[in-house]
A and B are shown apart, each in its own frame.
Chain A
Amino acid sequence: MSSAEDIPIIVEFTGGLEMLFADERKHKLSVPAKDSKGDAVTVGWLVEYLCDELMRDMRKEMFVLDGHVRPGILVLINDADWELEGEATYALQPNDNILFVSTLHGG
């Protein structure tokens, strides 16, 4: 059944967030199309998935704080602010590019 297949996506980290993910900026992932309840996977689901499956660093709070992506991190879905796309509820599509940007402050 095609709906049960995995979907390929690209997840990228920049602005220092890559340090939490083994210093790799770009990750080609294959994620299940449906979550455990049988619903289409969303960006919100992906954030949890990244914490559980991809992140080796113990500083989870540098990525997720109080159940939300930590303040100071922008989430971009195919180069657009996720707030333009429904935020955490956006359903992942094959070949989506999800970029997490930590804001910089130095100058």
Chain B
Amino acid sequence: MDSATKTAERLRIQIAATEEQLKNLKGQLADLEAQSLGNSFQNVSVQEELDPVTHEKWPLAAEDYKRYGRQMIVPNIGIQGQLRLKNASVLIVGAGGLGCPAAAYIAGAGVGTIGIVDGDEVETSNLHRQILHSTSKVGMKKVDSAILYLKSLNPNLKYNAHTSHLTPENSQGIVSQYDLVLDCTDHPTSRYLISDICVLLQKPLVSASALRTDGQLIVLNSPPLLAGNEAGGPCYRCVFPKPPPAESVVSCGDGGILGPVVGVMGVLQALEATKLIASGKLTSSGSEEAKKDASMLLFSTNSNPPFRSVRLRSRRPKCFACSAEAGLTLEGLSSGSLDYVLFCGINVPVSILGRDERIEAKEYAKLKTENRTDHLLVDVREKVQFDICSIEGSVNVPFSSFQGSRFKEGDGKQPTWIPQSLPPDAPIYVVCRLGNDSQVVTKRLKESGLNKNGRYIGDIKGGLKSWKEQVDSSWPEY
């Protein structure tokens, strides 16, 4: 980095810090104004004497009273709460299943400045749950699509588009512009990064997640006190000091997600954000009395009751991010010395079979049409997926049933899913969605001794994705 770049970087940091201070001062002024307004409501004549040209008679525009009236007359909000919302700025990281509903309600409520961070583009598979996007916007940047929708919902707010993903390098410059952060992302790497930058910049964080039929919500770093102050709210690292093993992390693309499940969690994030802002608890000074245990809200569609709140720990005395012994610094973060991907690990594609244990989809298709040999095709996707589409003649033995079964290696017994009519030396081919699980199963079947009698056992390389690419273009892609 040459000295000009360094100076520019330093200036950017100074500007961000000064802007932050300015915003803080504006917020304090707005609070004061709102209070004095409340006090002078009885004294209408004073109000009326104000010069209508040089003084704003009312703190909100005429349209705003109509637009926000229904929420302003709720006792917990009031005119003071509405002014706080107007003066607040919220950053929504992720414009997906959580971020879309959260952003819609936050814009609807009149939060003055809304920033959205996402580097992705809209895909058709997003549309069942990501309600700000629409069919005509497939291919568009999610952030642009979201802001287009939000502007039509509420044009009176300031929207900031941050069209690349949050990184350790850009996080300070982006997050420092806002009062409150919503973590609407979908991976542990981003969750640790967002929590860390929120601790460093003293921003409260509303974090949610969802998968299949379940959701979770936590308000972190609230109150957002300096690292080392035990009265501050716990951060993500206090609750989860070690990341989960990469292979235990399931994405919505692999595990599935119901729209209303992730929707309800995003809406709850907007609600928590509105509560924090309207009650004046965004800053450390406004939240001194709010020293109570942190909690996590669990939502489970099929449980009774579906919502359950559990008490969490307070700040962890040796937390890497928010304790007095914290090793986390802004310099360390922005210089990239923290590798979040390395910290959380990555799920590398499975590669445990040799070349001769795998067969290309097109080779299998050829073998099948020529009907050369008697064989068995075992599809190890879960049953719900097998029911959507399957190759004719294949049998379904879900991957999970291999994990759960007592099918012991080398116990000599033939599994029940092998037809009696199958010759003992007939090959077995294993297929799955992408070609990972099929390798694991192939290996297990061989270890169990099923390849005795010279039986060939192998998997279809690249799974049904390759089947679509190489053999059957009509194969449904789900």
Contact = CB atoms under 8 A, between A and B. Distances in A.
Contacts of B240: 71-72, 103
Given A72-B240, A79-B308, A99-B310, A105 B400 contact: no
Given A16-B255, A106-B257, A107-B184, A79 B309 contact: yes
Nearest to A84: B313
Given A58-B404, A70-B245, A105 B191 contact: yes
Interface in A36-68: 56-59, 61-62, 65
Interface string B77-115: 000000000000000001011110000000000000000
A107 B262 contact: yes
A70 B248 contact: yes
A15 interface: yes
Contact of B251 (A76, A80, A84, A105): A105
A79 to B, nearest CB: 5
Given A74-B239, A106-B262, A83 B313 contact: yes
Contacts, number: 116
A80 B187 CA distance: 25
A4 interface: no
Contact of B243 (A16, A72, A104): A72
B310 A79 contact: yes
Interface residues of B, number: 51
B211 A104 contact: yes
Contacts of B311: 79-81, 84
A15 B240 CA distance: 15
A107 B98 contact: yes
Contacts of A83: 313
A81 B310 contact: yes
Contacts of B96: 107
A88 interface: no
A101 B300 CA distance: 11
B157 interface: no
A103 B218 CA distance: 11
A52 B42 CA distance: 71
Interface string A86-106: 000000000000010111111
Contacts of B215: 104
B252 interface: yes
A71 B245 contact: yes
A58 B184 CA distance: 33
B418 interface: no
A16 B250 contact: yes
The 3 closest A-B pairs by CB, nearest first: A72-B244, A71-B242, A106-B252
Given A16-B255, A107-B265, 13 more contacts: A14-B300, A16-B214, A25-B302, A58-B404, A71-B240, A72-B248, A79-B309, A81-B313, A101-B310, A106-B97, A106-B209, A106-B210, A107-B183
